[in-house]
Amino acid sequence: MPAAQRVDLLDPAEVARLGGIEIVAEGVVEGFLTGLHRSPFRGFSVEFTEHRAYQPGDEPRYLDWKILARSDRLFVKQFEEETNLRAMILVDASRSMAWRGAPGRLTKRAYADRLAAALALILLRQRDATGLVTFDDAVRQVVPARVKTGQWTRFVRGLLDTPDGRGTAAYDALRHITGLLARRGLVVLLSDLLFDRELALTALRYLRHRGHQVIVFHLMDPAEVQLSGPPEVRFRDPESSASVVVRPRELARAYGETVQREMAAWRAACRRHGIAYHPVQTDMPFGVALRLLA
């Protein structure tokens, strides 16, 4: 598939018009894996209790003789030590994530859902146990990390069953997954990070202390990065309903510097604690965002 035609490299809003989350994610992953020559993830151990086809070199003691007797086909049993990774993907569903700066763009939440579904599909195709936590001012959906048949459908259903909320309780959601990841694994946070940085970092540092690999996707609409608009406009906080009237042209420079300082503070804090930090704007092709992990 030529690069120019790869779905994962098209404008996210154009891709979203192809269909629902499942269709978008499958198209994105097909294009992404076409352009990738190695697995983007390094694994740890994970609980796994399914079978796979026998391959030359597998130890005979792991053969399932009952399946051989029934079907005359060789399968081996896979155990916890034989698989790669246990991953939990956290999606911020707070009201601020439902915002977009222009009608033709995806909201931050819509972008996060599709990126999360694509990431989960990649992990599950690698036979990595993958789970989901969605949250706003409380934890809303929990899909425990599994790798069994139907897990991706359960993952996507968890996204679809989470409505847009109000406030944000990132700290509670991050602490919640410590009980879901008994062994070292991968934690991916998809959020606009519009919450208390120090409180969230406390939980992120704890996850790193427990040995987890932690990745933060800082999702922003392009209009949040650079202030623009009519001569005078009213901005309203979607989570508190507080509002303010400003003249964008007069504040654009100071606003831009403030945004860059905030991003730099997140980047520096994450780097200090071994956390990967990736700013992603919602007009970035999904494949480009996924490649940040490669």
C-alpha 156/C-alpha 17 separation (Å) is 17
The side-by-side arrangement of strands in the sheet containing 213-220 is 139-146, 129-135, 86-92, 186-191, 213-220, 276-281
Residue 81 is predicted with a pLDDT of 43
Is pLDDT above 60 for 41? no
Q: For residue range 116-168, what is the model confidence (pLDDT) as tens digits?
A: 999 999 999 888 899 999 999 888 999 999 988 899 999 999 999 999 887 77
Which whole number is the average pLDDT over 49-57?
A: 65
pLDDT score, position 80: 44
- How many angstroms separate the CA atoms of 94 and 138, rounded? 9
Q: How far is CA 165 from CA 143, 196, 223, 273, in A?
A: 18, 17, 22, 30
Predicted confidence (pLDDT) per residue in 161-219, tens digit: 999 887 777 888 888 877 777 778 899 999 999 988 998 999 899 899 888 999 999 99
The pLDDT value given to residue 70: 77
Residue given tokens 């036979």 in the structure block: 127
Handedness of CA 43, 213, 292, 87 (dihedral sign): positive
List % helix, strand, coil for the chain (3-state, nearest 5): 45, 20, 35
Give backbone dihedrals phi and psi of 26, rounded to 5 degrees, phi first. -65, -40
* CA 31 – CA 9 distance, rounded (Å): 8
Contact 190, 135 (CB under 8 A): no
CATH class of 3-40+83-291: alpha beta
d(CA 139, CA 127): 26
- State how far the alpha carbon of 97 is from the alpha carbons of 28, 94, 233, in Å: 22, 6, 21
Q: pLDDT by residue (tens digit) across 86-119?
A: 899 999 999 999 999 999 999 999 999 999 999 9
How many angstroms separate the CA atoms of 205 and 221, rounded? 27
Give the residue extent of every domain in the chain.
Answer: 3-40+83-291, 51-81
Amino acid identity, position 17: R
3-state secondary structure of 109: helix
pLDDT band at 248 (very low <50, low <70, confident <90, very high): confident
Give the highest mean pLDDT range of 7-11, 65-69, 136-140.
Answer: 7-11
Question: Mean pLDDT for the chain?
Answer: 84
Beta strand pairing status for 213-220 and 129-135?
Answer: unpaired
